[in-house]
Structure formats: structure tokens, C-alpha cells
Amino acid sequence: GIQVEQSPPDLILQEGANSTLRCNFSDSVNNLQWFHQNPWGQLINLFYIPSGTKQNGRLSATTVATERYSLLYISSSQTTDSGVYFCAVEKGGTASKLTFGTGTRLQVTL
């Protein structure tokens, strides 16, 4: 099956710093989503981005489908950004299962 790798596995930032999280995938995909799992365990949709670039406030994401990677940028990080960030891809037909990466655990300190 498709492999999804995320880096770095762990990241500690001071509040206000910027960061880039990376997601590599081993095959072409027709869906890629970024999620944030907050400290309470909830999975929050951040982006649906199989290709191109999107921005939402302090977050933005870019997927280069031909090179099989996606980047999530967090600018001016805040303590509420802490948690685990997951990338997930779907290779099959529309509305099939998502394959998740191992996640990047982010801790933002004061």
C-alpha cells in the first residue's frame, strides 16, 4: 500500500516562531488532507489540498503532486497550535479510505 512519511517527528518552538512540516507519499494520490489533533484528542480538518497552495490565517499548505510531497507552514506560532499534525492521503477512487502519516508532534512554549 501507499506509504506516508512525515517529518520532523517532534518539534518544539517558542511562541511567535515559524515552522514547516513535511509530508512525503510514495504514490500518486487524488486526495490529501492535513489535520490537527489537539491536546483533547479531537481531529480538526485544516486543509484539503491534493495540489497547489492554500492559506487560512496563519496556516498555509502547498502540495507538489508530481514530486509527491506536501508542506504545512505555521507562522507566528501560538501555544494553541500545540498538538499532533497529521497528513493523510487517498489513493483509490473518490471517497475511499485515508492513509495517515505518523504525525508531527508540535509543542509551542511561551
**Interface residues toward another protein, by CB under 8 A:** 4, 30-31, 33, 35, 40-45, 48, 50, 86, 88, 90, 94-103
Q: What is the DSSP letter of 80?
A: G
Nearest approach in angstroms of CB 54 to another protein is 13
Q: Rank residues 10 and 15 by Cβ distance to another protein and give the closer one.
A: 10
Residue 22 corresponds to which cell in the numbers above?
513535511
Q: Rank residues 58 and 97 by Cβ distance to another protein and give the closer one.
A: 97
Q: Rank residues 63 and 86 by Cβ distance to another protein and give the closer one.
A: 86
Residue 68 corresponds to which cell in the numbers above?
509527491
Nearest approach in angstroms of CB 97 to another protein is 4
- DSSP states of 1-48 as a string? ---EEEE-SEEEEETT--EEEEEEESS--SEEEEEEE-TT--EEEEEE
